[in-house]
Structure formats: structure tokens, C-alpha cells
Amino acid sequence: MAIPTQSEAFRIALGAMADGAQRSPKQIKAVVRPTLGMTSEEEAEVTSSGKMVWDSRISWAVQYLQRAGLLERVSRGVYCITELGHKIYADGTDGSEMMHLLNAIIAKNNPWNTGNYSKGGSGTTVAVNPTPSQADAKSPDERIDEAAAELDESLSDELLQMIMDKEPAFFEKLVVDLIERMGYGRGRVTQYSGDGGIDGMVTTDELGFRPIYTQAKRYKADSKVGRQMVQAFFGALGSIHDGVFITTSSFTKEAIVAAEYYPHATVVLIDGKRLTQLMIKYELGVTVERVVKVKRVDLDYFEG
């Protein structure tokens, strides 16, 4: 079966509890895991925030099932199936229908909302309202991660365009500012003549014993930095042991290999994509528009 979609995970988790046993979410996953038939690669697949995809979807399934009353909590972190859970499982409800059904029951049980559910003459009616199609396949964790990634991708494009609209001297300073922001020391842009091809220098300690030299090349996306230019940077380093070559475009394969195997210094190549990722991570040239806090129950508070 491989990794289940989020909508498939509801019935899978409910089925793991159909024997009436009491289990924790961890135990539910232990029952579910061997039934999925995942390859080792699928089992290890993670979201951008580092959570295993299949694990995240089963976790959310358990939460939804409990909120909808198909599972009930019998003690701290331990659940069992309810009569309603047995009934819906026996009805064969699955996939998107299951997801829509759970959302409808949760909405009905919410005192600020009304709805109707009717399946098999249960006596309670709840209108089943469709949810967005992407919600059927992925957990809320994954949808948050994907939304954040999409916003960052758009922001990256905008940052590169802003850099390309500025003069070369601005980019040389930006490179030094970024390395400073990353915590490597204090830097400065070198003079425009007699600098041996070095655009900036960052001192990693107060006495400047191990400086980092920088090279900044502001190129359009289709103009790659080649081996020859990277080797020229090697020559400019002289006896310096650390260098960073940053471009707004990318590097050829030959340039990457040359930097990787250069024996006299550690030379790091950063292309345009990596550059903007670092700017976003270290908040250089960007500002926080809003913060969305994802919260969980504080069990210590309730247990204490």
C-alpha cells in the first residue's frame, strides 16, 4: 500500500483499534506500520520539518478520530474504539468520505456550529461538507510545511530580483553582511583596486588569525560560474585557508569539483538558490510579516 494519504489514514488507524483493545498512539502506529507495506525509503520519508510522513498522518488521524468520538480516551494518552467508531468502520466508510464525515461530526459537536450527519439510520444527521482536495492526501503538518516552502520560494525569487537591480558594490557588501549574520565574525568590503580579486574579508577572531575571504559575482541565471573563475579565486586566496564564493547564478559541475578537491584551502561555493535560503534563514534583507504559532496541550499543566 505504501504511505497512506491523510484520508486513507483515518480508516487505517480506526481499523487498528477495531479489536476493542486500549492503545496509545505509539502502540497504534506499531500495529499499523507492518500493514502498510512501505519500502525503507518510504518509511524514512520526512516532511520539511523532519517528521516522518506516515507517522504524522497516523498521528493526525488518531486526533481526528478522538475529536469526532470514534475513539475515546480512557486514560492519559490511551484510547479505545467507541460504538460509533465500530459502526462507521463496519459501514466501510473510507477515503475522502471518511474525512468529510469526521469534519462534519466535529462541526456538529462544536457548540458554535450546527450540522447534520446521517449514515445507516444512526438517528443523528450531519451535513457532510467537502474539504479542499489537498487536505485528503496530507496531514496539517505537511500542509503548513508546504505553504511555508511556497512562500519562501516566492520570496527567494523576489530577493534575487532585488539583488540584480542593485549595483555590484551592494552585492559585495551583502555577502559580507550575510557571513557576519551567520556568526563567523566581523567583516569588511575590500578596496576596488589592488585587492587581488577578493571582494570581502571576515575576521573570525579579534586578532584576525583565520580570516575568511569572499568573492561575489552578480550574474544572471543563465550565466554559470565556471572552473576558470573558481581557480582564479584559489590564486587570490594565497595562504588563506578559508574562502566563500557566492554568485546569484550557479556553478558548473567542473567548478564544483575543483572547489571540492582543492587541497590548499576550504572553499565553499554558494549559488543563488542557497544564497536566498540563507538570507531568509538568517533574516538578512527580509522582515517577519507575521508569526503563526502551532500549539499543543501542556500536559504538565493539567497533570500538575
- At 105, the pLDDT band (50, 70, 90 cuts) reads confident
Q: How many CB atoms lie within 10 A of CB 201?
A: 20
- At 1, the pLDDT band (50, 70, 90 cuts) reads low
SS3 letters across the chain: CCCCCHHHHHHHHHHHCCCCCCECHHHHHHHHHHHCCCCHHHHHCECCCCCEHHHHHHHHHHHHHHHCCCEEEEECCEEEECHHHHHHHHHCCCHHHHHHHHHHHHHHHCCCCCCCECCCCCCCCECCCCCCHHHHHCCHHHHHHHHHHHHHHHHHHHHHHHHHHCCHHHHHHHHHHHHHHCCCCEEEECCCCCCCCCCEEEECCCCCCCEEEEEEECCCCCCCECHHHHHHHHHHHCCCCEEEEEECCCECHHHHHHHHCCCCCEEEEECHHHHHHHHHHCCCCCCCCCCCCCCCCCHHHHHC
Of the candidates 240, 239, 228, 231, the one whose C-alpha atom is nearest the C-alpha of residue 204 is 240
Mean of the pLDDT values across residues 276-303? 86
The radius of gyration of the chain from alpha carbons, rounded to an integer in Å, stands at: 28
Domain identity same for 15 and 75: yes
Domain identity same for 242 and 159: yes
Q: pLDDT tens-digit profile of 213-262?
A: 999 999 988 899 999 999 999 999 989 999 999 999 999 999 999 999 99
Domain identity same for 45 and 121: yes
Q: How confident is the model at residue 30, as a pLDDT?
A: 95
Domain identity same for 119 and 199: no
Q: How confident is the model at residue 213, as a pLDDT?
A: 94
- What CATH number does residue 107 fall under? 1.10.10
Task: Examine residue 293 and state whether it is found in any structural domain, yes or no.
Answer: no
Task: Examine residue 76 and state whether it is found in any structural domain, yes or no.
Answer: yes
Task: Examine residue 194 and state whether it is found in any structural domain, yes or no.
Answer: yes
Cα–Cα distance, 259 to 166 (Å, whole number)? 28
Is the per-residue pLDDT at 79 higher than 80? yes
Of the candidates 269, 271, 242, the one whose C-alpha atom is nearest the C-alpha of residue 256 is 269
Q: How confident is the model at residue 163, as a pLDDT?
A: 92
Domain identity same for 111 and 167: no
Mean of the pLDDT values across residues 178-200? 78
Q: How confident is the model at residue 215, as a pLDDT?
A: 93
Q: How confident is the model at residue 31, as a pLDDT?
A: 95
Q: How confident is the model at residue 112, as a pLDDT?
A: 44
Kindly report the pTM of this predicted structure. Answer: 0.64
Mean of the pLDDT values across residues 165-182? 92
Domain identity same for 158 and 103: no
Domain identity same for 60 and 177: no
Domain identity same for 186 and 65: no
Query: How many structural domains is the chain composed of?
Result: 2
Domain identity same for 54 and 108: yes
Task: Examine residue 206 and state whether it is found in any structural domain, yes or no.
Answer: yes
- What CATH number does residue 241 fall under? 3.40.1350.10
CA dihedral sign of residues 21, 25, 70, 90: negative
Task: Examine residue 298 and state whether it is found in any structural domain, yes or no.
Answer: no
Domain endpoint, select from 104, 137, 170: 137
Task: Examine residue 142 and state whether it is found in any structural domain, yes or no.
Answer: no
Domain identity same for 244 and 125: no
Task: Examine residue 143 and state whether it is found in any structural domain, yes or no.
Answer: no
Ramachandran region, residue 169 (left: φ > 0; alpha: ψ -120 to 50; beta: rest): alpha
Task: Examine residue 295 and state whether it is found in any structural domain, yes or no.
Answer: no
Contacts of 141 (CB under 8 A, 6+ apart): 47, 49, 51, 56, 60
Is the per-residue pLDDT at 138 higher than 90? no
Domain identity same for 46 and 118: yes
Cα–Cα distance, 84 to 106 (Å, whole number)? 13
Q: In residues, how long is the chain?
A: 304
C-alpha cell recorded at residue 143:
500542509
Cα–Cα distance, 79 to 56 (Å, whole number)? 18
Cα–Cα distance, 58 to 4 (Å, whole number)? 9
| C-alpha separations of 131 from 13, 72, 102, 191, 247 in Å | 20, 24, 11, 59, 43
Q: How confident is the model at residue 87, as a pLDDT?
A: 93
Is the per-residue pLDDT at 117 higher than 60? no
Mean of the pLDDT values across residues 263-282? 95
Give the domain range for residue 227: 150-281
Domain identity same for 64 and 109: yes
Mean of the pLDDT values across residues 52-79? 89
Is the per-residue pLDDT at 161 higher than 60? yes
